[in-house]
Amino acid sequence: MSGYSLQRTLAIFVKEFQQMLRDRLTFAMAVGVPVLQLLLFGYAINTDPRGLPTAVVSYDSGPLPRAIVAALQNTGYFRVTHQPASEREGDALIERGEVQFLVSIPADFSRRLLRGEQPALLVAVDATDPSAAGNAIAALGGVAGTALVHDSIGVLRPLNANAPAFELRVHRRFNPEGLSRYNIVPGLVGVILTMTMVMLTGLAMTRERERGTMENLLATPVRPLEVMVGKIAPYILIGYIQIGLILGAARLLFEVPMLGSLWLLLAFIGVFVVANLAVGFTFSTIARNQLQAMQMTFFFFLPSMLLSGFMFPFRGMPHWAQQLGELLPLTHFLRIVRGILLKGSDAAAVLPELWPMLAFVAVAGAVALGRYRRTLD
């Protein structure tokens, strides 16, 4: 045989390229994943969230408190969405995650302000995600010195002194020290379960198809639902073993507080595990081999990790990205696990996050059963 032949190399190149085009799913993943990454990182990811929902409890209806609230909104970081009647109602809003900040203005604020007593405003922050509120907390420092500049005229001129006219006391709720591990470690529960459960289940059926053992399964009188439940059940047990290891490490190594009911958390974990297993089973009915199952797992895992609020603040994303994130079970599970562990939330507080996961299970399960075939076409 002669030496190196460019013609033979070109023939192999053409053959390999044609084979790649025949595998449409792999080719689509090779093109789709970079495009997805570009769109998500370019448009959806924002590490400096603004317009954070804020509740204001004002026992003083004078013009000076209104000027301070307007100054807060002018920073761009605060958006007043609720005006509860009491601090107790405001605390409930923070515990449910409906607002990020709670500003409380006392009844004698204006009177003490005019006397030059430098009254205090209490600002409570949901600090379960320190990165989401960090820049907003930093912006509070300038509000005390500039909020009343335009109102300090005439008899109010003493308010425009060098010292701030009032004091802002920031209370970081649920994570006073601003430790990032309090936010990341509970989130890892959902991220690890998403990756492993979808991948393991996705490989289950494709592995049997590649090894030729699917014929034996199809020759039995087993119904599609029975196959699905039988395939999923072992991985539910594996999921709970993973949960035990993660929660044990979270408590012993990272000292993450566990304020809520562990049994309640385990119940919600079961729903979340089933949701991901249903996705994996669906992928196994689409993929022709284990490589394709792995590719589809990554295609599902990437937006789940980026749009759920695990890596980047959820409220920092544009509205369309938040709407996509609401469709993912990981988004709702992160709110559940952080609420139960860090806030001590009860079933009533986290129940609104259960229904989207149950809807996802129903849709994914219906698609999986619909695609399941009792033949090998």
Number of structural domains, the chain? 2
User: Which tokens is 8 given?
Assistant: 């033979």
Q: Are residues 106 and 167 part of one domain?
A: yes
Q: What number is the average pLDDT over the span 143-157?
A: 60
In a domain, 11, yes or no: no
In a domain, 293, yes or no: yes
C-alpha separations of 362 from 190, 231, 356, 368 in Å? 19, 17, 10, 10
Residues 87-134 have pLDDT tens digits of 999 999 998 889 999 999 998 888 888 787 888 889 999 988 888 888
Q: Are 194 and 304 in contact (CB under 8 A)?
A: yes
Percent of the chain surpassing pLDDT 70: 89
User: If you average pLDDT over every residue of the chain, what do you get?
Assistant: 84
Q: Last residue of a domain, which of 114, 138, 173?
A: 173
Query: Which pLDDT score is estimated for 272?
Result: 94
Helix, strand, coil share of the chain (percent; to 5) = 65, 10, 25
Q: Are residues 220 and 117 part of one domain?
A: no
Q: Are residues 186 and 139 part of one domain?
A: no
Q: At what angle do helices 290-307 and 24-39 cross, to 10 degrees?
A: 10
CA distance 213 to 217: 7
Give the strand pairing for 167-173 and 120-126. Answer: parallel
Q: Are residues 335 and 195 part of one domain?
A: yes
Q: What CATH code is carried by the domain that includes residue 169?
A: 3.40.1710.10
Q: Last residue of a domain, which of 113, 142, 173?
A: 173
Query: Which pLDDT score is estimated for 151?
Result: 54
CA distance 248 to 255: 10
DSSP code of residue 90: H
In a domain, 114, yes or no: yes
Q: Are residues 238 and 277 part of one domain?
A: yes
Domain that holds residue 351: 181-371
Q: Are 52 and 79 in contact (CB under 8 A)?
A: yes
Q: Are residues 212 and 240 part of one domain?
A: yes
In a domain, 59, yes or no: yes
Q: Which of 176, 152, 284, 182 lies closest to 228, judged by CA? A: 284
Q: Phi/psi of residue 57, each to 5°?
A: -110, 110
Q: Are residues 214 and 354 part of one domain?
A: yes
Q: Are residues 165 and 306 part of one domain?
A: no
Give the strand pairing for 101-105 and 120-126. Answer: antiparallel
Residues 205-221 have pLDDT tens digits of 788 777 777 666 666 77
Nearest-5° Cα angle at 115, 85 to 55: 20
Query: Which pLDDT score is estimated for 214?
Result: 66
**Model-level pTM?**
0.84
